[in-house]
Amino acid sequence: MLSEITLRIEKIQSPLREAGADALLVSYNANIYYTALRFFRGYTYIPAEGEPVFFVIKPLGLAETLPNAVQIRKPEEIPAKLAERGIALPSRLGLELDTMTWSDIERLRKAMSPSEVLNGSPWLRKARMVKTAAEIKMMEFDGVHQTEAYRHFTKAYREDMTDVEFQIELERILRLEGCLGFSRVSGALMEINMGSVINGDNADVPTPYEFAMGGEGVDPALPGGANGKTMKPGTTVMVDMCGAFNGYQTDLTRVWRIGEVPELAQKAHDCSIRILRALEEAGVPGVPCADLYNLATAIVEEEGLSDYFMGHRQKAAFIGHGVGIELNEMPVLTPRSRDVLEENMTIAIEPKFVIPGVGAVGPENTYQVTPKGLRNLTPLKEEMIEL
Amino acid sequence: MLSEITLRIEKIQSPLREAGADALLVSYNANIYYTALRFFRGYTYIPAEGEPVFFVIKPLGLAETLPNAVQIRKPEEIPAKLAERGIALPSRLGLELDTMTWSDIERLRKAMSPSEVLNGSPWLRKARMVKTAAEIKMMEFDGVHQTEAYRHFTKAYREDMTDVEFQIELERILRLEGCLGFSRVSGALMEINMGSVINGDNADVPTPYEFAMGGEGVDPALPGGANGKTMKPGTTVMVDMCGAFNGYQTDLTRVWRIGEVPELAQKAHDCSIRILRALEEAGVPGVPCADLYNLATAIVEEEGLSDYFMGHRQKAAFIGHGVGIELNEMPVLTPRSRDVLEENMTIAIEPKFVIPGVGAVGPENTYQVTPKGLRNLTPLKEEMIEL
């Protein structure tokens, strides 16, 4: 356990030192979990060299069992506790400016009184972007259980069900398979319960959220995903549900159809599978993420399907994204991305189409980048499944 | 619809003007929903006097149907769009410093270049703390459906079930009753799926989260709530599950027991009910929240139950909290609170006990503050229910 923590801390220390910082003080939930292998309320102090110190506010008792941990009541106690351990106060201090609130950052700035505050968020994103062997193992576990749950989805269907009723049964199947029912997301632009079930024309309703697909939702407070309409013959149902079976997650989409669907929908679905095969082969370390995006759109253009790709009335600007502790990590597969694939990145690829009057099509898999190409962590039949 | 928006905007403008601000630019999800009656990605601009302007990034098309809305691609376009409408750029600008990230705030500061940034978060908390008639109606709806779902929970139990298996069935019952399965919370210190089911000794496991009760959880990434242990005779099961049936929510806890439980647990549960009755009568406009807290602890001390009140190994520092769009709103019932009850505040009160070896006891209701005392929005039998 401790060596895994050391490995992660060293991955963070590398960009930290490159930026000329003396230390990084971590408090964002996903990063606390990343640095301590468990979530606690408090702070992980990471010096430019050497071991981290975990400042634990809650739960009581944890500081007694976690190595290098110190119990505190509030962050203002950190400087004195560091001094007790013979650690000099950092002059150039990294804080998570992209994820912590303005008020949280100001409180930490006052408590630590550094000469300069640097943005530590990119260092953490960069470290977390390439997974360790232990992280890959956790995501393999997620993939095994998520695909196993998906195998049971077809039998949850009953004629004249609404999309919400169908989704409720899928949620139960996932939970019984061990899904935590909760996964972390970065930023405020993804609010959803356990995922998205998009049925028929609801696929073409624009959403305010940053998901690849839209949907009206059942309430104006949460305008995304299923909208409570009955599932009808000749339409598709896209299922993109929670893959968090531990602190990590995989991201998996499959498409069901109710009876026969128009040829255009089938063609688009086949095109999506063709894109996945092409990207699996092309996706080796050293390849720019923008190239993968362009490879996908070239195939879409060749097949004359651009009008429907990644949405119809409103389009998403990416075809894939990193995934791990959070559903949306680095890198993001966009035409303007400057990221380059590295071994052991984990990336969800979702080349999806919205066919007006029919629904959304196109599978999504989560992959590990390897020297031989993309390794599928969510292997499962990709063809449309009849309900 | 528009008059409800006007009512809310005027409630926000009152503290805004008191602070001497020229305008407030809202972007936090819960506050966007509060000001527009629907969630969108973008900004609500609230001048010190007059009508708001809604700057919508997504969904596409919304700006055409929402009155006073303008489509933008990014916040940097706001100053020019204000100028087009003849609105002078605000010099003293309120931003949501307590809920938006440091980087978000800096981007807005650069985009709007005000002479001074003020913290608008307290103005919004204050406005949202006292509900409008329309908000009370939405919470009445939540209460009706949440209590209806709770009435069906007993029949989900089977002998030798784990707490997680029981919780999964309760989630399904709630969802089928119309629960969105997602509710907004303020801050990073409450992560959970659809609520908490705490069984037996798991109640005494400290959590890092700010919930009233603890629990180990099933994974170190999410250490709260059910831990997957079998439910056993002689213990209690506390159920505190999601009450969001629209953009608002009620908060409701009931306790089940498996067979007979020790007298101490029954005594503590009865004490909790006694506290609720006392607070319902005492809770009229003008009463300090701290007085309600002290009234509760006085009853607990009189009954000699202080060791178990609001936790045993780790204690929560409150006995109730505002609830509405978010699960944790103002006011909070703590001994140091400076808030005073006002008519149409909505408050969840949860005087709970943890009895070692038995489990958690004590019901929770959500109330509306009225001149006659607290009006229960979640009326439902409060005695322990046998499984």
pLDDT in tens, A334-363: 999 999 999 999 999 999 999 999 999 999
Q: Is the four-CA dihedral B367, B370, B373, B379 of positive or negative sign?
A: negative
**If pLDDT is split at 50, 70 and 90, which confidence band does A192 have?**
confident
Looking at residue A142, what is its pLDDT?
A: 98
* Amino acid letter, A135: E
Q: Judge contact between B326 and B270, C-beta under 8 A.
A: no
B159 CB-contact burial (10 Å; exposed 0-12 / middle 13-18 / buried 19+): exposed
Cα of A180 to nearest chain B Cα, Å: 7
Question: What is the average per-residue pLDDT within A283-293?
Answer: 98
> What tens digit of pLDDT does each residue of A4-48 get?
999 999 999 999 999 999 999 999 999 999 999 999 999 999 999
Q: A148 touching B, CB under 8 A?
A: no
Coil, strand, or helix at residue B301? helix
Mean pLDDT on A228-250? 98
Instruction: Look at residue B112 in the predicted model and tell me its pLDDT.
Output: 98
Is the CB of residue B158 less than 8 Å away from at least one CB of chain A? no
Contact present, B319 and B351 (Cβ < 8 Å):
yes
Neighbours of A125 (CB within 10 A): 20
* pLDDT band with cut points at 50, 70 and 90 for residue A190: confident
Contact A221 B33 (CB under 8 A): yes
Where do we find the tokens 């004359």?
Answer: A304
Q: Is B110 exposed, middle or buried (0-12, 13-18, 19+ CB in 10 A)?
A: exposed
The shortest CB-CB distance from A247 to any of B181, B194, B219 is to B219
pLDDT in the model for residue B274: 98
Question: To probe the interface with A, which of B66, B222, B312 has the most A CB atoms within 10 Å?
Answer: B222
Does residue A222 register a pLDDT over 80?
Answer: yes
B48, B19 Cβ separation under 8 angstroms: no
A218 vs B: CB within 8 A: yes
Q: What are the tokens at A111?
A: 């408590």
Tell me: pLDDT of A378 over 60: yes
Given a contact cutoff of 8 angstroms between Cβ atoms, the answer to whether A350 and A364 are in contact is yes
Place of tokens 């030798």: B160
How much is the pTM? Answer: 0.97
End-to-end CA distance of chain A: 45
Report CB contact under 8 Å: A181, B171. yes
Asked if A325 is an interface residue toward chain B (Cβ–Cβ < 8 A), one would say yes
Q: Which of residues 353-372 of B touch A (CB under 8 A)?
A: none
**Each residue of A298-344: pLDDT tens digit?**
999 999 999 999 999 999 999 999 999 999 999 999 999 999 999 99
* Digit-coded pLDDT (tens) for B13-34: 999 999 999 999 999 999 999 9
Both tokens of A272, joined, read 């999506």
Looking at the complex, report in whole angstroms how far the Cα of residue A188 sits from the nearest Cα belonging to chain B.
7
Measured between CB atoms, which of A37, A168, A184 is closest to B175?
Answer: A168
pLDDT at A189 over 90: no
Output the average pLDDT for chain A: 97
CB-CB under 8 Å, B100 with A101: yes
Q: Which two tokens stand for residue B96?
A: 């949501």
- How far is residue B118's CA from residue A71's CA, in Å, rounded to a whole number? 34
Contacts of B60 in chain A (CB under 8 A): 206, 313-314
> Nearest-5° angle of CA A257, CA A262, CA A267?
90
Interface test with A, best of B25, B41, B55, B101 (most A CBs within 10 A): B101
Q: Taking the CA atoms of A220, A222, A228 and A233 in sequence, report the sign of the dihedral they define.
A: positive
| Amino acid letter for position B184 | R
B212: left (phi over 0), alpha (psi -120 to 50) or beta: alpha
Counting every residue written for chain A, the total comes to 387
- Residue B40 identity: F
Residues of chain A neighbouring B168 (CB-CB closer than 8 A): 172, 175-176
From A228, A222, A204, A249, select the one nearest A355 (Cα to Cα).
A204
Pick from B175, B209, B247: which is nearest to A219 by CB?
Answer: B247
Q: How far apart are CA A3 and CA A37, in angstroms?
A: 11
pLDDT in tens, A57-100: 999 999 999 999 999 999 999 999 999 999 999 999 999 999 99
- Which amino acid is residue B298, in one-letter code? A
Closest by CA to A82, choosing from A33, A43, A30, A41, is A43
Distance CA(B211)–CA(B343), nearest Å, equals: 26
Closest approach of B293 to chain A, Cα-based (Å): 22
Given a contact cutoff of 8 angstroms between Cβ atoms, the answer to whether A3 and A21 are in contact is no
Does A39 contact chain B (CB < 8 Å)?
yes
**pLDDT, averaged across chain B:** 97
pLDDT in tens, chain B (387 residues): 569 999 999 999 999 999 999 999 999 999 999 999 999 999 999 999 999 999 999 999 999 999 999 999 999 999 999 999 999 999 999 999 999 999 999 999 999 999 999 999 999 999 999 999 999 999 999 999 999 999 999 999 999 999 999 999 999 999 999 999 999 999 888 898 899 999 999 999 999 999 999 999 999 999 999 999 999 999 999 999 999 999 999 999 999 999 999 999 999 999 999 999 999 999 999 999 999 999 999 999 999 999 999 999 999 999 999 999 999 999 999 999 999 999 999 999 999 999 999 999 999 999 999 999 999 999 999 999 999
pLDDT value of residue B2: 60
In terms of Cα–Cα distance, which of B219, B311, B211, B201 is closest to B251? B211
Q: What kind and span of H or E run contains B169? A: helix B163-176
- The answer to whether A37 faces chain B, any CB pair under 8 Å, is yes
Tens-place pLDDT, residues B105-119: 999 999 999 999 999
Length of chain B: 387
8-state DSSP, A89 = P
User: CA B41: distance to chain centroid?
Assistant: 22
Say if residues B289 and B345 touch (Cβ distance below 8 Å): no
Q: Does A64 touch chain B (CB under 8 A)?
A: no
Q: Which of A71, A109, A171, A222 to mutate to test the interface with B (most CBs of B within 10 A)?
A: A222
**Backbone angles phi and psi of A176, in degrees to 5:** -65, -25
- Cβ-Cβ pairs closer than 8 A, A with B, add up to 180
**B161 contact partners, CB below 8 Å, separation of at least 6:** B230, B231
CB B218 within 8 A of CB B228: yes
Distance between B57 CA and the closest CA of chain A, angstroms: 8
How remote is the C-alpha of A108 from its chain's centroid? 28
Q: Say whether B172 and A176 touch across the interface (CB within 8 A).
A: no
Structure tokens at B78: 């706001």
Is B33 an interface residue toward A (CB < 8 Å)? yes
> Closest-CA residue in chain B for A189?
B41
Q: Is A158 on the interface with B (CB under 8 A)?
A: no
- Shortest CA gap A184–chain B (Å): 9
